C-alpha cells in the first residue's frame, strides 16, 4: 500500500525523521515525521542535504558561535577547515592591522581567533589563505595549495599556528616544501574589527530548505501523505542532484514580512533568546511552508518560503507553526530546548511577493 512506501522511492517507510535537522539539537515536544521515509533516503540521500545546511551555510557559523551540538554519534567537523557533502568551508577574514593584510579566522568556544594557516601575498596584494587542517599531510597540503591558483612570485608568505602545534607544523612545512626558509617571528594583531564571512550556497543547501519545509508540512497536515501527485515536483526537486543552483527560485523564495508578530518592527530583536521557526499553511489552491533558522538578537535571519504544491483541490485556509527555542542555560538532559506551538492569526492586508533567493548579476 502507498501509505507503507517511502515518499521518495518504493522502499518500505520505516524511519523517524526530524524535520528540523538533529544537528541543531533535540527539542522537547518537537513534531516528528514517522514512517514516511525509508532508512536509505532518510539517512543517506537526504542526509547530504542536512550536512550542507548545517556545516556549510550561515547556520554552520551560528552553530559554532553558540556551541550547538548535534548527535554525539556524528563526527565533529571544523567548518572553517573544510566543507561537507560537497559544500565549501566557511571563510571568515579580517584585516590584521599589525601585518597589513587580512587573515583567516575561526570561531571556537564562542570566541574568535586566528586559524592555523599559511597566508600567501601576491605582488598585486591579493592574499590566499591555506588552512593547515588537523589531519594535514604533505600530500594534502600540496594539493590544497595547487587549488589556490597562486600567481608567483609571492611578496610574502606567513605561517600562523598555536604554540602547542609548533613542532608538528614545523615538520609538516619542512616535509612539504624542503627548500622553504623560515624568517624571524612577527607578532600579529591581538584583536580584529570588521570581520567578513563568506558562505557559498549550493543546490544542496536550497534543497535542504525545501526538504525541511515539506517534511514539517506533512507533520502538521496529516491528511496529506506526501505521495500525492501535487507534491511530485517538490519531491523531484528535493532529490535532484543535477540541476543548477538557480532552479531554487522555482521552489524557494524569501518571505518579506515577519513570521512572528513581535518581529514586524524591524528594530525589534529577540530578548536574549535564540530559536528556529518552522511554519506551514494552506491557501486556496496552494500549500506553503516557511523556514527560519537561528533567529537571534545577533542576526535577523532570512525567512525562506517553500512552494510545495499548487492544486485546485486545496480549498481550506489553515496555518500552523512551531518555535524551537533553546534553553538559556544550555541543554537539559538530552534536550537543547523546547518546541512551542505558535498561535496563528491572519492579516487583512495582502502580503508582499516572495523575493528570489538567487538574483541575477
Please answer whether residues 59 and 164 qualify as being in contact, where contact means their C-beta atoms are separated by less than 8 angstroms: no
Write the burial class of residue 342 (CB in 10 Å: 0-12 exposed, 13-18 middle, 19+ buried): middle
Which pTM does this prediction carry? 0.92
Least confident of 79-88, 105-114, 134-143: 105-114
**C-alpha cell of residue 116:** 592555523
Q: Which DSSP string corresponds to 64-79?
A: HHHT----TTSPP--T
Could you give the percent of the chain with pLDDT greater than 70? 94
**C-alpha cell of residue 4:** 507503507
Q: How many whole angstroms separate alpha carbon 184 and alpha carbon 106?
A: 25
Q: Which DSSP string corresponds to 187-213?
A: ---S--SS-EEE----HHHHHHHHHHH
Q: How many whole angstroms separate alpha carbon 316 and alpha carbon 286?
A: 9
Cα dihedral sign, 337-213-277-321 = negative
Find how far residue 319's CA is from the centre of its chain: 26
Q: What is the DSSP letter of 124?
A: T
More confident residue, 37 or 266: 37
Q: What is the DSSP letter of 43?
A: I
Looking at the DSSP bridge assignments, the partners of residue 287 are 282, 309
Q: What is the dihedral of CA 104, 274, 272, 94, to 10 degrees?
A: 10
| pLDDT of 71 above 90 | no
- Tell me what pLDDT residue 191 has: 79
Q: What is the pLDDT of residues 169-179, one digit of tens each?
A: 999 999 999 98
Which residue, 19, 66, 10, 44, is CA-closest to 329? 66
Amino acid at each position: 500500500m502507498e501509505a507503507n512506501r517511502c515518499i521518495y522511492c518504493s522502499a518500505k517507510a520505516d524511519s523517524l525523521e526530524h524535520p528540523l535537522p538533529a544537528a541543531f539539537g533535540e527539542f522537547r515536544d518537537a513534531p516528528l515525521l514517522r514512517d514516511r521515509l525509508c532508512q536509505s533516503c532518510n539517512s543517506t540521500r537526504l542526509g547530504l542535504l542536512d550536512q550542507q545546511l548545517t556545516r556549510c551555510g550561515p547556520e554552520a557559523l551560528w552553530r559554532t558561535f553558540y556551541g550547538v551540538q548535534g548527535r554525539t554519534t556524528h563526527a565533529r567537523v571544523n567548518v572553517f577547515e573544510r566543507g561537507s557533502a560537497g559544500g565549501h568551508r566557511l571563510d571568515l577574514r579580517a584585516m590584521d592591522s599589525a601585518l597589513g593584510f587580512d587573515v583567516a579566522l575561526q570561531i571556537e568556544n564562542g570566541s574568535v581567533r586566528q586559524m592555523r594557516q599559511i597566508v600567501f601575498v601576491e605582488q598585486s596584494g591579493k592574499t590566499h589563505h591555506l588552512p593547515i587542517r588537523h589531519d594535514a599531510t604533505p600530500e594534502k597540503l600540496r594539493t590544497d595549495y595547487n587549488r589556490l591558483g597562486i600567481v608567483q612570485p609571492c611578496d610574502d608568505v606567513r605561517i600562523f599556528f598555536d604554540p602547542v602545534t609548533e613542532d608538528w607544523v614545523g615538520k609538516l612545512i619542512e616535509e612539504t616544501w624542503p627548500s622553504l626558509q623560515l624568517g624571524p617571528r612577527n607578532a600579529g594583531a591581538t584583536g580584529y574589527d570588521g570581520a567578513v564571512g563568506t558562505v557559498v550556497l549550493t543546490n544542496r543547501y536550497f534543497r535542504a530548505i525545501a526538504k525541511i519545509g515539506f517534511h514539517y508540512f506533512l507533520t502538521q497536515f496529516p491528511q496529506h501523505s506526501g505521495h500525492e501527485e501535487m507534491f511530485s515536483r517538490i519531491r523531484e526537486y528535493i532529490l535532484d542532484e543535477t540541476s543548477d543552483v538557480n532552479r531554487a527560485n522555482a521552489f524557494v523564495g524569501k518571505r518579506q514580512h515577519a513570521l512572528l508578530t513581535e518581529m514586524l518592527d524591524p528594530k525589534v530583536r529577540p530578548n536574549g533568546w535564540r530559536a528556529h521557526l518552522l511554519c506551514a499553511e494552506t491557501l486556496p489552491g496552494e500549500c506553503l511552508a516557511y523556514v527560519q533558522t537561528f533567529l537571534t538578537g545577533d542576526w535577523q535571519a532570512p525567512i525562506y518560503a517553500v512552494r510545495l504544491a499548487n492544486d485546485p483541490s486545496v480549498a481550506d485556509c489553515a496555518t500552523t507553526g512551531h518555535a524551537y527555542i533553546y534553553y538559556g542555560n544550555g541543554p537539559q538532559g538530552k534536550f537543547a530546548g523546547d518546541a512551542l506551538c505558535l498561535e496563528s492569526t491572519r492579516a487583512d492586508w495582502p502580503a508582499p511577493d516572495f523575493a528570489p533567493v538567487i538574483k541575477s548579476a
